[in-house]
Amino acid sequence: MNAPLPNAVLPTFERRALPPPMLDALKARFGQRCSTAAAVREQHGRDESPYPVTPPDAVVFCESTGEVAFVVGLAAEHGVPVIPFGIGSSLEGHLLAVQGGVSIDLSRMNRIVRVHPEDLTVTVEAGVTREQLNREIKDTGLFFPIDPGANATIGGMAATRASGTNAVRYGTMRENVLGLTVVTAAGEVVHTGTRARKSSAGYDLTRLFVGSEGTLGVMTEVTLKLYPLPEAVSAAICHFPGIAEAVDATIQVIQMGVPIARCELLDANSVRAVNRYEKLSLREQPMLLMEFHGSAAGVKEQAEVVQAIAHEHGGEAFQWATTPEERTRLWTARHRAYFAALQTKPGCRCVTTDTCVPISRLAESINDSRREADEAGLPYFIVGHVGDGNFHLGYLIDPDKPEERATAERLSMQMVQRALKLEGTCSGEHGVGLHKMGFLLDEAGAGAVDLMRQLKRALDPKNILNPGKIFAL
C-alpha cells in the first residue's frame, strides 16, 4: 500500500521558471488580465485541500477559447506549466502550482453558448457554474442534475469527473458530457463528441478528457445533456437508530431498482453540526435525506416503497418536504454540512475521504471506518451519496498538530485499503490530484498507471498541462 502524500508536506517538485519573454507576451496580450500580484497568485495557489498555498508565477484571466489557446501555445513554446482554474473548490490539491507556471483562470468564460431545449442539450463555457447554468435555463423546463454540493464550474466538474447527490439516478459527469472543446498541449483547438446522444465514431476522446484533471488538455466548452424538470418532486427525511440501519435500507432500495433521485446519509455528527450552523432542529441521529422525481403517481409509489423499506430497518419519523422552499432548505443544509462540520472545531482543517464501493459492501465499509475513527479519538463526520456506494468521512484536524494529521492520514489509508479489498475505488468523485497518487497506484496497478503515463506523454510530451498531478511521470 502506498501512503498518501501527507497533506502537510508537498511532494518536492522542481519549479520551472517563467521566462521573462513569455511574461512579456502575456502582458502584451492580456494587459490587466495577466496578474503577478501576490494576492492574486495566492488565491490561485490554493483550493479546499489542506495543502499549503502554492502559487503560480502568473494568473491569466481568459475570456475565449482563442485566448486559452494563445496561453497554452506560449507555454508549449517555453516549456512552462499551465493550470486551468475554475472556482477553486477542488479538495485534492488539483490547483496548486507545484511546478510553478501560469494559472489559467476560466471564471470569466461564463457564457451559456447555446441551449437546445428541443434536443435536451446545452453548450456552456467551462467557467459557468452549475447554479448559474440551472438559473439561466430555468425557463426551458429543463435542468442539469449533476450537483457536487459546491457551486463548482462545469469545467472543473468535468475535469474531476464529479457527481454528487443526483448521480444515483442521473449518472455522473462521465454520463452527462456529450462533447468538449479542448485546447491541446500544442495550443491547438479540437472538438470532441457531437450533440447526438450516442456515437461509435472513433476513440472516446470526450471521456478521456473528462476526469483527466487538466493534465491532457484545457477544456473551454462543454456540451451537456439536460433533463426535463420532473412533473413531481418530493423530498423526505427519515431518522434511523444507527448508521448501519440507514445504510441497509439504502442497499435494499438500490437492489430493488427504485429510481430514487437522491439518497444521502448524514451521521449524527453531521446532523448536529448542520443544526447549529443552519439553525435547524433535526433529530440528532443518523438520517437519510431522499428525493423522488417522476410523475405525481410515480413519486408517490416510489416513496411508499422506500418508506416501507425504511420502516423495516427501524427508520422512523419519515417527514416530507414537498414545497420547493422546504426542499431548498434541506438541501442547502446538506450542502453546507462540510462547512458546518468545520465550525465545530474552530481553526480546524478537514482531511476528506471519498471511497466508493459496490453497494452490498457499503455497510461494512462505513461501519469499520467509523469504528476506527472512534478508536482513534479524532472528531469526524460522515456524509454520503450512499445510493452510489460513495461516502465521505471527514477527519477534523488541528493543522498545528502533526500527530492529528498523521492519524487522519492513517485512518484514510485504512479506509482506502478496505475499499480496494471490497473491489471499490479510492475516489468516487473528488479525483486524484496530489493527495491520492499513491492510492491510484494501489487501485489500478502499475500496469494500468503506466498506460495512463503513456497517454499523458503522447498528448503532452513536454509535461506542461497541470504537471505533478494524478501520477508521477
End-to-end CA distance of the chain: 19
Query: 359 in helix, strand or coil?
Result: helix
Please give the Cα distance from 227 to 216 (Å, whole number).
Answer: 29
| Interaction between residue 145 and a copy of itself (CB under 8 A) | no
Which one of 97-105, 253-261, 279-287, 321-329 is the stretch in contact with a copy of itself (CB under 8 A)? 253-261
| Under 8 Å between Cβ of 232 and 303 | no
Residue 294's nearest CA partner among 205, 195, 359, 227 is 227
Which one of 70-78, 96-104, 154-162, 375-383 is the stretch in contact with a copy of itself (CB under 8 A)? 154-162
Site string for a copy of itself, 443-472 (x = CB under 8 A): xxx-xxx-xx-xx-xxx----------xx-
| Under 8 Å between Cβ of 58 and 36 | yes
Binds a copy of itself by CB under 8 A, chosen from 158, 210, 263, 373: 210
Residue 470's nearest CA partner among 281, 213, 279, 224 is 213
Residue 356 DSSP label: B
| Interaction between residue 189 and a copy of itself (CB under 8 A) | yes
Which residue lies nearer to a copy of itself by CB, 301 or 398?
Answer: 301
The cell for 414 is 485504512
| Under 8 Å between Cβ of 178 and 148 | no
| Interaction between residue 359 and a copy of itself (CB under 8 A) | yes
Phi, psi of 447 (to 5 degrees): -65, -50
The cell for 459 is 498528448
| Interaction between residue 160 and a copy of itself (CB under 8 A) | yes
Which residue lies nearer to a copy of itself by CB, 287 or 432?
Answer: 432
Site string for a copy of itself, 381-400 (x = CB under 8 A): -------xxx----------
| Interaction between residue 1 and a copy of itself (CB under 8 A) | no
Binds a copy of itself by CB under 8 A, chosen from 166, 429, 467, 468: 429
CB of 91 to a copy of itself, least distance (A): 11
Which residue lies nearer to a copy of itself by CB, 104 or 440?
Answer: 440
Binds a copy of itself by CB under 8 A, chosen from 17, 53, 190, 473: 190
Please give the Cα distance from 259 to 256 (Å, whole number).
Answer: 9
CB of 164 to a copy of itself, least distance (A): 10
Single-letter code of the amino acid located at 57:
D
Please give the Cα distance from 373 to 325 (Å, whole number).
Answer: 36
The interface with a copy of itself within residues 284-303 (CB under 8 A) comprises 294-295, 297-298, 301
Binds a copy of itself by CB under 8 A, chosen from 201, 279, 375, 400: 201
Q: Angle at Cα 374 formed by Cα 373 and Cα 375, nearest 5°?
A: 90
| Interaction between residue 191 and a copy of itself (CB under 8 A) | yes
| Interaction between residue 434 and a copy of itself (CB under 8 A) | no
The interface with a copy of itself within residues 102-121 (CB under 8 A) comprises 116, 118-121
